Structure 1
């Protein structure tokens, strides 16, 4: 996709996101024809939204579990950006009016202590694990900001950061104190009722497999992950869509809890 077309597509997406206007199909001449073009638009979008959303501080990985692949009908992982203004601490209250249709997912977030530069690829789960400084129990906040997402296709969803709208983080657990992430069980609690459950094994077999996928995906276009960046490794449960007044609590055994209210 030509740079001018990617920038024009990104500008349309950025305007819709800022205005909370549901995004429909892009004009034919601006639609990314494949996922590589979708990521080209996404990179242009990140440059355009930085003024309003702050610096990109990491990434989210979507479609890492079978439950989410089945739900979205996309059989492989997809990545999006996480921005400074969208990162919150446990206990936050967030207005539902700040989203088109807000939802939440139960995640294990990683915080990198070391760079994963593109020249060091290919990466394995073992290699990226050594770069992780800590993990957090996390709520990924997602936004269905589309007229009908089922009709847009993966390239356009990727261009718009694949539903990403921020996250809420619980306390960090240092790498040396981490439980076996393979067997960590997560529960999504909405208003004190269980809305979904899963384990770390549901995330591409292990959350560090998802992190390795992202590192290799970025390396393919000459990009890397940097120390201090946050990576949301993918949901253990199917997305839960919310309404005003909902209270969210994600419990991840051995990692802790994270809570938020949507008002």
Structure 2
């Protein structure tokens, strides 16, 4: 049976009306409860087309969320701002999983993940929210809302045979050809592989294992950045460019 918060979030997706005000009694009290709401949302709206995972922190928990297949797009897509309440943009490194990763005795380690990667990509994540203000709700309420995922636009595939050092991966975000934000680098390749190993174990434990062809975005390197209707593009040396039209 779905939780009351799941019902509220699904109604918001259906009607476009934000879940506001949010009854404090509906806020998950544990990450496990938030993930249960994610699973209920996937059961209602799935299938899963991608995942998002935060970088491995120095201390504290990682968080992850499935992204609905309906929200996964390729370079050049057109999205409607009206369908993405509270929209914001993040630029990320994405990977495509090259083989199924079911539950494994003892779990996956980073050394297991590198050979399981088919390709790497530059990607744009589009944040949206089922709340009036995603920044104003408790963290676990945001986790329950699929970590505010709205869509992901995946750039061209680059071979994962020799991973670059992502800690030095420069990226730039532009609106209508005008550069908005840049970064000289962020989470390292070692960090990315560690978070992907954690995700493989986490997803399998939830009954939603990573499968061949699944895209995983690995945490914001630029953003969140506000945006209004425009052509949104991002580029990264060695990874190419990706764009979409927001109307």
Query: By the TM > 0.5 criterion, same fold?
Result: yes
1:25 CA drift (Å): 5.0
Cα offsets for 1:77-113 (capped at 9, x unmatched):
3212212221112112211111112121111111111
**Residue 251 (structure 1) aligned with residue 227 (structure 2):** no
Q: Which runs of 5+ in 2 are unaligned?
A: none
- What pairs up with 1:34-183 in 2 under 5 angstroms? 34-50=30-46, 55-62=47-54, 64=55, 76-176=61-161, 178-183=163-168
**Residue 187 (structure 1) aligned with residue 172 (structure 2):** yes
Q: What is the distance in 1 between the residues matched to 2:197 and 2:208?
A: 13
Change (3 A) 1:229 1:207: same
Change (3 A) 1:33 1:44: same
Cα offsets for 1:183-235 (capped at 9, x unmatched):
32111122333332235543686322321231233345465322221111111
Q: Which moved more, 1:234-243 or 1:143-152?
A: 143-152
Between Structure 1 and Structure 2, the one with more helix by share is: 1
Q: Which moved more, 1:180-189 or 1:89-98?
A: 180-189
Please list every run of at least 4 consecutive aligned residues from structure 1 whose deviation after the TM superposition is greater than 4 angstroms: 219-223
Q: Which runs of 5+ in 1 are unaligned?
A: 67-74
TM-score for both structures, normalised by structure 2: 0.88
**CA RMSD after TM alignment:** 2.6
- What pairs up with 1:160-239 in 2 under 5 angstroms? 160-176=145-161, 178-198=163-183, 201-202=186-187, 206-221=191-206, 223-239=208-224
TM-score for both structures, normalised by structure 1: 0.83
Change (3 A) 1:98 1:133: same
Q: How many residues align?
A: 247
Say whether the 8 Å CA contact 1:199–1:236 is kept in structure 2: no
